[in-house]
Structure 1
Amino acid sequence: MTRTLYTLCGADRSRPFSPHTWKTVLSLAHKGMDHQTMPVGFTQIPVIENAATKIVPLLRDGEQLVSDSFEIALYLEKTYPDRPSLFGGEGGKGMARFIESWSLMTLHTSLVRIILMDIHDRLEPVDQAYFRTSRQARFGMSLEAVAETGIEELKTFAAKLEPLRMMLKKQPFIGGETPLFADYIVFGPLQWARIVSTKRILEPGDPVIDWFERCLDLHNGAGRCVTAA
């Protein structure tokens, strides 16, 4: 069966950076499922698979097309129940929903301000124009003005991870002794920052860094296939 994952990247097609894509990369690796990667830029997304999606990741699994990282995880869990579970049961799905909401509202909204110009600078010119127009409309200010707010965001970002730090005193992963999709949800935005930006998001010695390094090592180092910026 041909399995293709459409991923978001910049001018360097070998460096997919979308946090949502990385959730799916690790989900597929967790399930032990091979796939080929099809990198696309922002402006290519509307035309892939005959305009099947407005977002990536998009997974083609044989004849099935599934978009959205959480929906892909649910699809993999239902379609391949004989493979290692991404949720560990219905309770794990509910936990992952909460963690995704926390990650989107807390981590993503902070990190995007911190690394916004880093993302822009790694795009092809046609995607830079789209990115500038769409993000300035979203934020109601220039990219440069948003980046200025990122300076203060960087100072307070580490504190937003205190719930994870407290949990890591008791167990190595959010999933317990082994990772679940919930771990990949939080891994995604930190991998996003690692790939596009040279900014130091967390200080050395932070337990979150130790957890992140463990996640990078998972599944034969799937997260390390793209080097840090």
Structure 2
Amino acid sequence: MLELYQFELSHYCEKIRLILDYKGLPYRKVEVTPGVGQLDLFRMSGQRQVPVLKDGSTVIADSTEIAEYLEKTYPDRPIIPTDPKQRGLCLLMEQWADESIGLNARKCMIGALGKDQSFRQSFLPNTIPDFLKTVVSSMPNELFSVLELGVGLTPDAIKAAEASMKRDLAALCFILLDQPYLITDHPTLADFAVAGLTMYVKFPDGDYLDIPQPLKGKGVPGIADVGTFAPFFEWRDRLYADFRKTGTPSASSSANRPTSIQID
């Protein structure tokens, strides 16, 4: 069985999970946790980022490389068009999603954590005592602003990311105005990249991800709750309902599996 070395909250991993589900490929999620196990993943794949796919003795890192490997090795239900123009558009849009939506979505989420207490509290697991949830949610926003600066995110950088994300979502709404998918009459790599990488802007509702219940369907205030972008998120909801499976089993970490990762 295919093994996906992943982080459940990684939007680049979600891109691959969408593709695996669409192609109907059984796979096992191997959750990678912070710690010295990062060295194991490095020894296996030559790098420390997720996602990493293991297919027998073959190990593939990077979400784009994994997608192309799956298309070549498991060609049923193709995700990359054969028509030259459509193929070019698909690959170009996937790269744009990786480099624009993927990076800016993370900045938008971090910015929202610093500004919105309810969004911040939604990330806390249900197992955390209520008094600790209250402590986290009541922490001053200024403290999170300091943490944002600590990872190199200035207020101007977050503002620019939010503006870029709004432009991207508006463009996607226009593209999807009179067609079912971004490139062809069936989903392609472009669709799954865009759908997966917008996860941080608004988490999908339903039992697709093993995340705290309050986080499902919740997103970045000022983007996820704006009516202008509702057509896009409605389209994404349909994509999930049609192709994304629920409750994909995970494999617990063991001595011969990596136990640490840096999010891709």
TM-score of the two chains, using structure 2 as the length reference = 0.64
Q: Partners in 1 of 2:155 and 2:39 — Cα distance?
A: 27
1:94 equivalent to 2:117? Answer: no
Q: How does 1:1-229 map to 2 (within 5 A)?
A: 2-8=1-7, 16-41=8-33, 43=35, 44-48=37-41, 50-52=43-45, 53-81=47-75, 83-89=76-82, 91=84, 92-116=86-110, 118=113, 141-143=149-151, 145-146=153-154, 149-151=157-159, 153-154=161-162, 157-195=165-203, 198-200=219-221, 201-202=223-224, 203-204=226-227, 206-219=230-243, 221-222=244-245
Q: Distance in 2 between matches of 1:42 and 1:95?
A: 37
Structure 2: which amino acid aligns with 1:34? P
Counterpart-to-counterpart distance in 2, 1:86 and 1:58:
19
Residue identity in the other structure for 2:170: E
Equivalence for 1:13: none
Which structure 2 residue ranges, 5 or more long, are not aligned? Answer: 115-119, 125-145, 204-214, 249-264
Change over 3 Å in CA distance of 1:181–1:145 after alignment to 2: closer
Cα distance change, pair 41–148 in 1 and its aligned pair in 2 (3 A): farther
- After TM superposition, give the deviation of residue 150 of structure 1 in Å: 2.4
Larger RCO (CA within 8 A; separation ≥ 6):
2
Measured after TM superposition, the shift of residue 153 of structure 1 is 3.9
- Partner residue, 2:209: none
Contact 2:41/2:48 (<8 A) preserved = no
The one-letter code matched in structure 1 to 2:235 is W
- Cα distance in 1 for partners of 2:10, 2:177 equals 29
Per the TM alignment, residue 95 of structure 1 is displaced from its structure 2 partner at its CA by: 2.2
Q: Is the 8 A contact 1:114 1:147 kept in 2?
A: no
Contact 2:91/2:189 (CA < 8 Å) preserved in 1?
Answer: no
Instruction: Please say which of residues 150-159 and 59-68 is displaced more in the overlay.
Output: 150-159
Q: Is the 8 A contact 1:115 1:147 kept in 2?
A: no
Pair 21,182 (structure 1): closer, same or farther in 2 beyond 3 Å: same
Aligned residues: 200
Structure 1, unpaired ranges of 5+: 9-15, 124-135
Identify the structure with the greater helix proportion.
Answer: 1
Aligned-partner SS, 2:43 = coil
What is the one-letter code of the residue matched to 1:4? Answer: E
Percent of paired sites with the same residue: 22
3-state SS of paired residue (2:241): helix
Q: C-alpha separation between the residues in 1 aligned to 2:93 and 2:186?
A: 17
Helix, strand or coil at the partner of 1:47: helix
Q: Match of 2:9, SS?
A: coil
Structure with the greater alpha carbon radius of gyration: 2
Q: CA RMSD in A?
A: 3.2
Aligned partners of 2:89 and 2:183 also within 8 Å: no
Question: Runs (4+) of structure 1 moved beyond 6 Å?
Answer: none
Deviations 1:151-209 (A, max 9, x none): 56436632222221111112011133321111011112211333476423331362111
